[in-house]
Structure 1
Amino acid sequence: MSLTYFKPRDRFDFSKDTLDIGNPLQWDRSQFLKHLFKRVFAIPEDRVKEFYPRHLAYYLSHHPTGTEEIFFKYFWSLIERQLKVLLNKDVYDKNHLRNEREIARLQKFTELLISLDRWNFHKSNDAVIAQQDSEIYGLRQEIIQLKADLKKATALETEGYINIPDGYRNTVLNLHLQMQELKTPEGKELMFSQTQSVWTKMICKYFREGDKEINHETIRRYFPSDKREPGDKHADIPAKSKLFTINPSKKRS
């Protein structure tokens, strides 16, 4: 039946950008539907809008009693059915990437047809269900991607931490402050960060004092954002906690 709705490709038409259906040489007309979707998936995205009016014109020219409504409903039903088939395929299908591309193309056609639907056919129960299935599929794909991103982001996470003896937290803070002042032989900062919060968050995340968490708000006062004007809330490390000094090693010959 598709053969009467869509324009078949002319014999010996070898153009690469054709919108017509079929092969330039001999082909089985009983497989017309297969060739239809082969063309739907192959045409450039910027020519999708040309597909509908071209085949509508062909249909109307060959069916004096035909109407655009009849053509529209038939074309919509084909797109809707094929989209449902693809959406029901397992994400672990060996042709998953191809399925994804084809789903995206059919969704593009769906958007186009909805904009042309003067009969509100897309609001029928079947169409609404198909649209919901498409949205659910999209959400599932998003969940899969988010899980992959989360796995990648937490790959270096650890439940362990570096423990500091009770009363020596400030000693460790002082070492971190000293490390910020170290420079390479070329005069560049050995460790540079845009903000001091990087240091305080790192310490709170990976260090403990007496196996207890370190309060971020408590240690922030030792790491002013502007060392030249630290502000009233800034506090210096007590002298009694400055037990170690980091010095550059002697140059080796």
Structure 2
Amino acid sequence: MRPQYFKHRAVFDFSKDTNDVGFPLPWNKGNEDNHFLYRLYRKNKDHYESLYQHHLDFFLTLYTDATEQEFFVHVKQIVTDAISELINKNRYTSKHARERQNRMQLQEFLEYLNTLDQWFIQSTDQETIKRQLEEIAKLINENKKLKEENKKLRELETKDYIDIREGRHKTLYHLMLQIRELKLEDNKELTNATTLNIWCKMIAKYFRVGGKEISFESVKPYFPPENSADLTKYKDIPKKDQLFTIIPARKRSL
């Protein structure tokens, strides 16, 4: 056991809003566990994290071989011992109301500690079962969400496809490339792809040529990134396959 785990209050430090333990005057440092509990009783649940982290950071810098697990075990042992002691106190004394309040706060702080416990330190069977049930409930909820998302995706999935006349797939590419470049009256693009390869993926997934699949890699060379400086690895659509030209419709008077 280490001689010190918590950051001690400096001498003549009379500040009330502090996480340090001890008195502003000389005190018995061997009682730092009791002073930690004293400081804890004056905090609420919103301050538990800052109190714990304050002393953990100090402990980790105090010893070169210190670990959070060691600090966690020490703090949890102090809290569980204090709870056990308060449970066994005589209920019929003038201090009962204060002791009961302290016990409830220690239980609250212990629940906070359990949220940090990645090592399952000294957990009772009841605590372990509770945590496992919470984890199971969390996994069930996540699984339910994944099933709902998967169901929505399956609704859009299809084994059907659009078949292109054999030898005319580049004509389709030419039309797609034109659609990609179309602009509206305000000079904004009609379409705006979220990824550079979406056009190629769409063609490879939903189109066939004479009933045969189109590979993504075979489509990619015909769809260069917009404003690309290096076009040497991309191919132009042959003139013989440029059979259709998309032109803007005439404006209709109202």
TM-score normalised over the length of structure 1:
0.53
Q: Partner of 1:151 in structure 2?
A: 151
Aligned AA (2:91): H
Counterparts of 1:220 and 1:152 in 2: how far apart (Å)? 29
How many angstroms does 1:169 deviate by? 0.7
Counterparts of 1:45 and 1:200 in 2: how far apart (Å)? 55
Q: Partner of 1:201 in structure 2?
A: 201
Q: Per the alignment, in what secondary structure is the counterpart of residue 149 of structure 1?
A: helix
Q: Partner of 1:181 in structure 2?
A: 181
Q: Per the alignment, in what secondary structure is the counterpart of residue 233 of structure 1?
A: coil
Counterparts of 1:148 and 1:195 in 2: how far apart (Å)? 25
The answer to whether the Cα contact below 8 Å between 1:204 and 1:216 also exists between their aligned partners in 2 is: yes
Counterparts of 1:143 and 1:169 in 2: how far apart (Å)? 41
Q: Is structure 2 residue 251 aligned with structure 1 residue 251?
A: yes
Q: Per the alignment, in what secondary structure is the counterpart of residue 208 of structure 1?
A: strand
Q: CA RMSD in A?
A: 4.0
Q: Map Cα deviations across residues 168-206 of structure 1 (whole Å, 9 max, x no partner).
A: 110000000011221212222222224431211111222
Q: CA 1:170/1:121 → structure 2, altered by over 3 Å: closer, same or farther?
A: same
Over 6 Å off, 4+ runs = none
Which residue of 84, 87, 91 maps to 1:62? 91
Q: Partner of 1:220 in structure 2?
A: 220
Counterparts of 1:192 and 1:114 in 2: how far apart (Å)? 45
How many residues in Structure 1 have an aligned counterpart in Structure 2? 167
Q: Partner of 1:237 in structure 2?
A: 237
Counterparts of 1:147 and 1:175 in 2: how far apart (Å)? 37
The answer to whether the Cα contact below 8 Å between 2:48 and 2:112 also exists between their aligned partners in 1 is: no
Q: CA 1:110/1:212 → structure 2, altered by over 3 Å: closer, same or farther?
A: farther
Q: Partner of 1:131 in structure 2?
A: 131
Structure 1: give runs of 5+ residues left out of the alignment.
1-43, 77-105
Aligned AA (2:159): E
Counterparts of 1:142 and 1:109 in 2: how far apart (Å)? 27
Counterparts of 1:148 and 1:190 in 2: how far apart (Å)? 32
Q: Map Cα deviations across residues 65-93 of structure 1 (whole Å, 9 max, x no partner).
A: x9x9xx98xx98xxxxxxxxxxxxxxxxx
Over the matched positions of the two proteins, sequence identity in percent amounts to 36
Counterparts of 1:63 and 1:225 in 2: how far apart (Å)? 81
Aligned AA (1:192): N
Structure 2: give runs of 5+ residues left out of the alignment.
1-43, 50-78
Q: Per the alignment, in what secondary structure is the counterpart of residue 202 of structure 1?
A: helix
Q: Partner of 1:141 in structure 2?
A: 141
Q: CA 1:110/1:210 → structure 2, altered by over 3 Å: closer, same or farther?
A: farther
How many angstroms does 1:144 deviate by? 1.2
Q: Per the alignment, in what secondary structure is the counterpart of residue 62 of structure 1?
A: coil
